[in-house]
Structure formats: C-alpha cells, structure tokens
Structure 1
Amino acid sequence: MGNIGIIQQLKQANLYSGKVILQFIGQAGMIIQGKQDTLVIDPYLSDYAEKNYGLERTYQPFYKPDDLKGVDYYMITHDHADHLDPGTVSICAEMSPETIFIAPSYCHQLLLDCNVKAKNIWDIKDETWQSIGELAFRAIPSAHEDLEKIPDGGYRFLGYIGTLNGVTFYHAGDTVVYSGLLDYLKEQPIDIAMLPINGRNAFRFERGAVGNMNYQEAAELSYQANFELTIPVHYDMFADNTERPGHFVDLMYENFSSQKFHMMAREEQMIYTNMQFMKSD
C-alpha cells in the first residue's frame, strides 16, 4: 500500500451492502468503513494528553493523526482528551478540510480552538435521528459517572447509535449503566456494540479517573439489549485505569454463551456482515 494512510487503504475496499470494516485504533477509538464513507470515533493518536495532563500511555498509537487524512466523518463522544484529542483533531482539520466533526455542543469551542471550521461542526443537542451521506445516527445520553446536562439542553457526554451501509452500531463513549439506558438500546436491533469495561472506584475517582461500567455490567447489558456482537473497549490505555479484558470474555462465555462477542487485538481489522440485511437486500 506504500505510504498511504489507513483511511485511503480502507476506501479501496469494495464492500457489498450490509458489510462494514472495523479498524480498532486503541482506547475507545474505532474506524468504520462503509460502502463509500468512512467514520472515525474518538481517535486518540497524538501525545497531547501526555504532554499536557501527564496521561502516560501503556502502549503507543498504531497510527499517526495524519493517517486519518480523507476521513468523511469524525465523531466525538465527549471532551476528555482521550476522546476529543486536540492533537489529532487539529491535524485532521488541517489535512482534511471537508471532514465533518460530529460532537456534543459542549465541545464546540474546543473544536474551534483546534482550527475546525464552524461550518464543519455538527453540534449535537438532542436525540433526533440525523443523516449525512451514508451515515444516519442519533445521540443518546451517557453518564460518566452522572448524566450531565448543559445550558443549551444537551448533554456533555454522549453515545451514538448509527447505521452505515446497512449495519447498525452503538458506541457508548464513556458511561455507566444508568436507569433508562436499556430502553434506548432496545428501540432498534443493534448489530455491533462497543462498550467500555474499565469500571470505576473511589480511589481512581479521587485521582481524576472518572468511571465507566465494569465488565460485569457490560456483559449483562449486552445480554439484556440482545446485541448481535459486543466489542469491549477502553480497558488498557492507562496503567492506573485498566481492566483485564479476559474477565469480560470469561463472564460472557460462562453466563451468556448465546451472546456473540469479540475482543479486538491491538490494530486488528475485521469485516462484519449483517446477514439479515443481506437476506433482504
């Protein structure tokens, strides 16, 4: 492939309807390639957080921010630097002036500060379905660790349910399991769910590590929501805020053996096929 970035590599794929390529890029970061359009969610590829907040990585990123050149949609769940990474956003905005940045309205000024053009920012303030190109999506609130409303009526922390090329996904961002979350997730069948599993505790919270659902809650949520496939994320980037993903794997196998799950290896790429979509296409 030479020196072309990962986005250009993915765009060379010739996907039938009902298929997407998933590319795991560390922490909660994921690239999803549809038939034509490419979506990246919460990429954390620069050293900005380490230099400015002392957040030392346990492993280095697989790609550089400029590898995202040409991405169509850049989706952000909230303002924390391992999700809205200014070092990645600013380079992507410079190299890909047509990229659309989808983020909670709380993030608007942060994106402007990263030199994203105002016309390229989609401020998300409510839970209505929206669409652009191949991508249709709606935001749902996330509680990290609480539901936090902001003055314009939106939420500071979001997850997203979306469809791309006939595949429905849920990216939880950072969240605990709160009352009402399951109701959102049962409104439509979800093919792929990406859930944080690093949990939370009082000592980590005092050190500034705001918590998420733990692996037991993620497994139970997967079963209750009847996701087709669950992918655990957000468990090994920072040494003092981790979880062993094998615990999630063991629990799913032992307690919810009918539920499909897959722990993606670092830098893994996989193709997902929505068989129901294929049958009806």
Structure 2
Amino acid sequence: MNDTAIRILSAKAGETHLFFIGQAGYVIKSRNGQLMGFDLCLSECVERVEGHMGFKRLIPKILDPFELRFDCLVATHPHFDHFDMDAIPQMMSNHHTKLFASVNCETEVKRLMMTGENTSYVKPGDSVDCGDFHIDFVECDHGKGAPDAVGAVIAVDGKKIYMAGDTCLRMDRVNDIKKIGQLDVVIGPINGAFGNMNEEEFAGFAHALGSKLTIPCHFGMFATHGGNPGRFLEIMKKEYPDDKVLLMSLGEGIIL
C-alpha cells in the first residue's frame, strides 16, 4: 500500500482532513472517516491519449485506485486530468462509491461502458448530499472545450471548501459564491493555460472571496500546463500579506 493511502486511512478520527494528490486532485476525510475524492488523476491516461511529451506525467502516482473505498467522487469536467478514464471505473467497481460528474462526462461514462450505477450528472445550481458531505455545484468558465464544467463548495463537519475547478477569472461570480457562506478554504488553478486563471488572477480572486485559507493547484504535473507556485506565493505576500496561504506538497495532508 502506498504511503499516501496509509496516511489517509490512519488520519485521526474526530478531525477533518484534506490531502493533496496532485494537479487538481484532493481527498477529504470527514470526522467520521468518510472519504471524498475530488478530480483525482491517478493514472497516465492523459499522455496515452494526447500522444506527445507535453502531457507526460512529471510527478509520481501516489495513490492506487483500489487502495481506498471512497464514499463519493467528483469529476468537474471530462478532461482526463479531472475525469481519469482509467482510474474512475476502478474506483467505482466496489458498487459503493457514488460519482457526481458534470453533464458532459456522460459521453465518457457510456464510452467506458460503465453501468451508470451510482453515477449522477450535475450542473451549476445543483446540490447533493453524500454521507457527511453536502456539495453545492457552482458556475465555472472553462471555455468551449468544457462548457458544462462545474466548481463546487463542499460542506463537511461545519467547514466549507470551495473547489474552483478549471476556470478563467470571473470576478462577477464572487458575490454568488460568497452567498453560500464563509469559506474555510478556497482552492483554484494558477497555470494560466487552457482557459485557467494564472497566478495573479487566482490571487485576486481568492482574496475577493475572503477565505480563511488559500491553496493553489493545477501545476507541476504536465510541462504544457504551466503554473508557478513560487510566483503565486510572492504575489500573495506582496499584494495580500494578511491572507493565509498554503502551498501543499504532493501527498501532504492538513487538518481543517
């Protein structure tokens, strides 16, 4: 068993844990031990599909799809670094895990000949409950390549975690997100490519949301994706010195 799986399984009960799995992938463990996987990219399927070195995986795979029994998975859109076509069927094979995927993931689910068991398709404005997790799906702007992509605000154990998903800067949506309530964590992309916010844009967006903690993601996995966490940190220090920021290392877990 990988060290990351051991850390997740052994994380102390009675506390809420957040683990970084790479790219835009996270695992949340509730106080009761329930597990959510968010946009997990666990395989090398992107390189196989794209067929060139720009999408070669540059960080190790730290979690095997069969190591954890997830209560729910979220796939914000069908790009394979968010909807892992190799790993999702494996993680769903236990007939327990529920998948909440953006509506344009349905084509991929059918192509993989998944039965549709425990699979629900979501759009902005939808709200779902899965055990300890309540999820409000919100607007996301990832361009024409994924027009139905979603972001999510996850409520668990009295905490609210906003996962922006892959999105360009949309300051006009800040107030709508803030209406959901005080955010404990905001997580968003900094790679500045393929329609996503860059370091400066996410810094300003996160500050406007007024979250207690800001965590950047979507960097380091593929050469073509870009994203400089050092630059993001410098921008936050200079422009928003009172905001709490965390750069999570691969496999790192924190208590919320």
- Pair in the same fold by TM > 0.5: yes
Rounded Cα–Cα distance in structure 1 between residues aligned with 2:251 and 2:129: 29
Separation in 2, partners of 1:108, 1:146: 17
Question: Does the CA-based 8 Å contact 1:93-1:115 persist in structure 2?
Answer: no
- Equivalent residue for 2:153? 161
Distance in 1, Cα, partners of 2:95 & 2:3 = 16
In structure 2, the partner of 1:31 is: 27
- TM-score normalised by the chain length of structure 2: 0.90
What is the Cα deviation at residue 60 of structure 1? 2.1
Offset at residue 109 of structure 1 (A): 3.1
- The CA deviation at 1:237 is 1.1
Instruction: Report the secondary structure of 1:218's partner residue.
Output: helix
Which whole-Å CA distance do the structure 2 matches of 1:24 and 1:269 have between them?
Answer: 7
The gaps in structure 1 that reach 5 residues or longer are: 150-155, 201-209, 273-281
For 2:178, give the aligned amino acid. K
Q: CA deviation at 1:57?
A: 1.3
Partner of 2:72: 73
Assess, with a 3 A threshold, how the Cα gap between structure 1 residues 88 and 257 changes in structure 2: closer, same or farther: same
Partner of 1:182: 174
- Report the Cα offset of residue 5 of structure 1: 8.1
Q: Is the 8 A contact 2:123 2:138 kept in 1?
A: no
1:193 pairs with one of 170, 186, 201? 186
Q: Does 1:215 align with 2:199?
A: yes
Confirm or deny: 8 A CA contact 1:7 1:71 kept in the other structure: no
* RMSD of aligned residue pairs (Cα, Å): 2.0
Aligned identity (percent) is 26
CA separation of 1:220/1:80 partners in 2, compared to 1, >3 Å: closer, same or farther? Answer: same
Render the CA deviation track for 1:114-153: whole Å, top value 9, x for unaligned. 354323011113413321211111111211136965xxxx
Q: How many residues align?
A: 251
Mapping for residues 1-281 of structure 1, pairs under 5 Å: 3=1, 10-16=8-14, 19-36=15-32, 37-54=34-51, 55-67=55-67, 69-94=68-93, 96-145=94-143, 156-187=148-179, 188-200=181-193, 210-272=194-256
TM value normalised by structure 1: 0.83
**1:17-45: CA deviation from partner (whole Å, max 9, x where unpaired):** xx421111110000010023110101111
CA contact (8 A) 1:235 1:244 kept: yes
CA distance in structure 2 between the partners assigned to 1:143 and 1:243 by the alignment: 18
Off by >4 Å, runs of 4+ in structure 1: 4-9, 146-149
